[in-house]
Structure 1
Amino acid sequence: MKVIIAGAGAMGSRFGLMLHHANHEVVLVDGWQEHIDTINNNGLQANFNGEKIVENIPAYNQSEIAKVDFSADLVILFTKAMQLDSMLQSINSLLHEDTKVLCLLNGIGHEDMIKKYVPYQNIFLGNTMWTSGLQGPGKVKLFGDGSIDLQNLAQGQEQAANTIVEALNQADLNAKYSSNILSSIYKKACVNGSVNGLCTILECNIASLGASSYANTIISQIVDEFIAIASAQNIFLDKDEVLTQIKSSFDPETIGLHYPSMYQDLIDNKRLTEIDYINGVIVRKGKQYQISTPYCNFLTELIHSKEEILGVR
């Protein structure tokens, strides 16, 4: 399968590397020129569960990808939410009428942007619990196990969804078809909405957050707000199940020592975060449905304040 990884940061690099290793034809597309140059000159270097590996995968700046002769069978979206529109514009010429687009972005509601560029029947939504860390240009740290749930948006595209599942599983990415992907996306949003922002504000890894005596109370309140907004859209979540999933991430033997992507963006790389597309969208939907969301509102404002303090633009 010919695959474009649109957004070759930490997670995009993981998926690109694993798909390439499984003999899929992969192209990485990103906007960070130093990262692209390093990959093209030295290969994509990875600490893969303690083993150092290098994969030679072609990488292109999104400003130049339109000139490349590559007709994609599958595009996997891994951009930051605020970069999605510009990325879709950049790769548009590489899409054909049968190109499938799988969105694995953090946050909620990205299909509204994607359908401006992609026929509805070719859009697939997914949720992944894989983790990855970007250690510098062209270097990633991959550890632990993960999984992917995905589903077609349009009726009648189940076979196409399962073809994507098969391709991902050839790369040992533990994918499976979901009959209720919006529920999975909201569960993942609960995790990100609790862990990402709090670890970024407190400047700690996930295990350290979990060790705090205040963590459970704060996280419970945040999850309540996500569940209320989901319920208003007829998406029903089990709070105990969600909290169990969040608490499992605290284990230092699994991903507890990981610093979430929002921490990596703001603290490590001084980049703007996706807070408006995680907790911020809950605030906006709260206003729409007249549901109070004070914890998500406060966390969103704290992250934006920290962006300003650190001079991030």
Structure 2
Amino acid sequence: MNIVIAGAGAMGSRFGIMLKQAGENVILVDGWQQHIDEINQNGLKANFNGQDVTEFISAYNQNDLSDVDFSADLVILFTKAMQLDNMLQSLDNMLGKDTIVLCLLNGIGHEDVIKKYVDYDNILLGNTMWTAGMEGPGKVTLFGNGSVDLQNLGEGKEDVAQKVADVLTNADLNARVSSDILTSIYRKACVNGTMNGLCTILDSNMADFGDTSVAKPIVQKIVSEFLAVARAENVFLDEEAVIEQINGCFNRETIGLHHPSMYQDLIINNRLTEIDYINGAIVRKGKEYGVPTPYCEFLTQLIHSKEEIVEAK
């Protein structure tokens, strides 16, 4: 299968490496030229569960695709939410009437942008519980285990979703077709809505934050706001189960020493964050539904203040 990884950061690199190892025809598309050059010159390097791995995968700048001859069967979206529209514009010459687009972005509501570029029946929404870290241009750290949930938006297109799930599972990415992806997306959003913003503001990994005396009540307040908005959209989650999943992020023996993607973006790479598409989205939806979201609003404001202080780009 011809696969485009759109957004070759830490998570995109993980999927690119694992799909390439499984024999798929993969290219990477990104906007970070130094990262692209390093991959093309020396391969994409990874510490893969303690083992050094190098995969040679063609990488392209999203602004230089007009002469690239690649017809995509599948596009997996990992670009930042605020860059989604521009990325899809750049990929236009690679998208055909049968191209499937799988959106694995953090946040909520991305299908409204994607449907401008591909048929609604070819859109899959999903989320992934895999983790990855960016060490520098052309180098990532991949550790732990994970999974992917995905669902077709087009009615009666379960076969399309299953085809993609099979490709991912063949690459050991542990994918399954869901019949209720919004529940999975909101569950993942609860993890992102707590770990990303809080660890970024506190300059902390997840385990160190989890060890603080106030971690649990802060997490509970933020989760309660996410779930209240979800209920307004007829999505119902078990609060205790969601918090238990988040508590698993504090385990030092598994992923607790990990710094979430928002931390990597803002603190390490001085990049603008996706806060408006995570906690900020809950604030917007809360106003629409009349649901108070003071913790999410405050955290969103704090992240934007930090972006301004460090002059993030």
TM-score range, shorter chain: over 0.9
Give 1:118 deviation, angstroms.
1.1
**Equivalent AA in structure 2 for residue 218 of structure 1:** I
Report whether the alignment pairs 1:144 with 2:147: no
Q: 1:211, 1:153 → 2: CA distance?
A: 40
**Equivalent AA in structure 2 for residue 82 of structure 1:** M
Give 1:106 deviation, angstroms.
0.3
- Structure-1 residue corresponding to 2:61: 61
Q: 2:66, 2:224 → 1: CA distance?
A: 44
- Structure-1 residue corresponding to 2:47: 47
Instruction: Indicate conservation of the 8 Å contact 1:40/1:57, yes or no.
Output: yes
Give 1:66 deviation, angstroms.
2.7
Q: 1:244, 1:112 → 2: CA distance?
A: 31
TM-score by length of 1: 0.99
**Equivalent AA in structure 2 for residue 156 of structure 1:** G
Classify the secondary structure of the residue corresponding to 2:208. helix
The equivalences for 1:56-95 within 5 A come to: 56-95=56-95
- Structure-2 residue corresponding to 1:169: 169
**Equivalent AA in structure 2 for residue 161 of structure 1:** A
- Structure-1 residue corresponding to 2:293: 293
Instruction: Indicate conservation of the 8 Å contact 1:79/1:87, yes or no.
Output: yes
Deviations 1:262-282 (A, max 9, x none): 000000000000000000000
Report whether the alignment pairs 1:310 with 2:304: no
Unaligned runs of 5+ in 2: none
**Equivalent AA in structure 2 for residue 172 of structure 1:** D
Classify the secondary structure of the residue corresponding to 2:306. helix
- Structure-2 residue corresponding to 1:238: 238
Q: 1:212, 1:178 → 2: CA distance?
A: 35
Give 1:65 deviation, angstroms.
1.7
Classify the secondary structure of the residue corresponding to 2:75. strand
Give 1:290 deviation, angstroms.
1.0
- Structure-2 residue corresponding to 1:192: 192
Q: 2:147, 2:122 → 1: CA distance?
A: 22
Unaligned runs of 5+ in 1: none
- Structure-2 residue corresponding to 1:124: 124
Classify the secondary structure of the residue corresponding to 2:210. helix
Q: 1:28, 1:185 → 2: CA distance?
A: 25
**Equivalent AA in structure 2 for residue 23 of structure 1:** G
Number of residue-to-residue matches in the alignment: 313
Give 1:4 deviation, angstroms.
0.1
**Equivalent AA in structure 2 for residue 290 of structure 1:** G
Classify the secondary structure of the residue corresponding to 2:36. helix
Structure 1 runs of 4+ aligned residues shifted over 6 Å read: none
- Structure-1 residue corresponding to 2:101: 101
